[in-house]
Amino acid sequence: MQATARALCEHGYSRLRVRDIDEYFGKSRQLINHYYDGKDDLIEAVLKYLLEEYERGIAVGDDVDPEQQLHSYIQEFFYGPDIEDFDHWAFVTALIELRSQAHHYPRHQELLMENYLHLRGILVAIIETGIQEGDFREVDADMFANAILAVISTSRMRKVCLDDDEAVENGRQILDAIILPQLFREPDRD
């Protein structure tokens, strides 16, 4: 999986060949062909792997208050979880590469949409809990979750596709200065 993801980052989806994956794999190409029915089958397996690793990596415990949970998730979305032997930005690059081709592959679209809905669901649950506990204002949790993910997604795309090193910090500033203050309650003043 990691060999395919690395080859995908280097060659891009449209130019990726099984022999390119083989260079990173270090084992027989026949072994790849034995388990997968071609490049598309292998790419689907890699996409599942990347999404599962990412979802597992961003998990934050329920033992912290909703505001801390939200900040932790945002931090993980922006800067990435620690996935063994895999660089976060290589991971993001591979996902963006796969997303850019998803309109040709309905199964890839399905997997990416499931992942998006899962991540959005996590944010919605945190926001709704924060509202119930009185930490957050009464807001449309779904709209805020969508806004947070849109800023993060755009920032990561700018960093990867445009080599904009300030994109992630700009996105974080947008969340901290514009979106999150609309969510958090003002502290009680004595």
pLDDT tens figures, 68-101: 999 988 988 888 766 566 677 887 888 888 888 8
The model's pTM is 0.81
CB 112 within 8 A of CB 102: yes
- The rounded distance, in Å, linking the Cα atoms of 142 and 144 is 5
pLDDT for residue 70: 93
- Determine if residue 134 is left, alpha or beta; phi over 0 gives left, psi from -120 to 50 gives alpha, anything else beta: left
Q: What is the pLDDT of residue 48?
A: 85
45 within 8 A of 2, measured Cβ to Cβ: no
134 DSSP assignment: T
**Residue appearing with tokens 């709209």:** 143
Q: Which residues have CB under 8 Å from 143's CB, separation 6+?
A: none
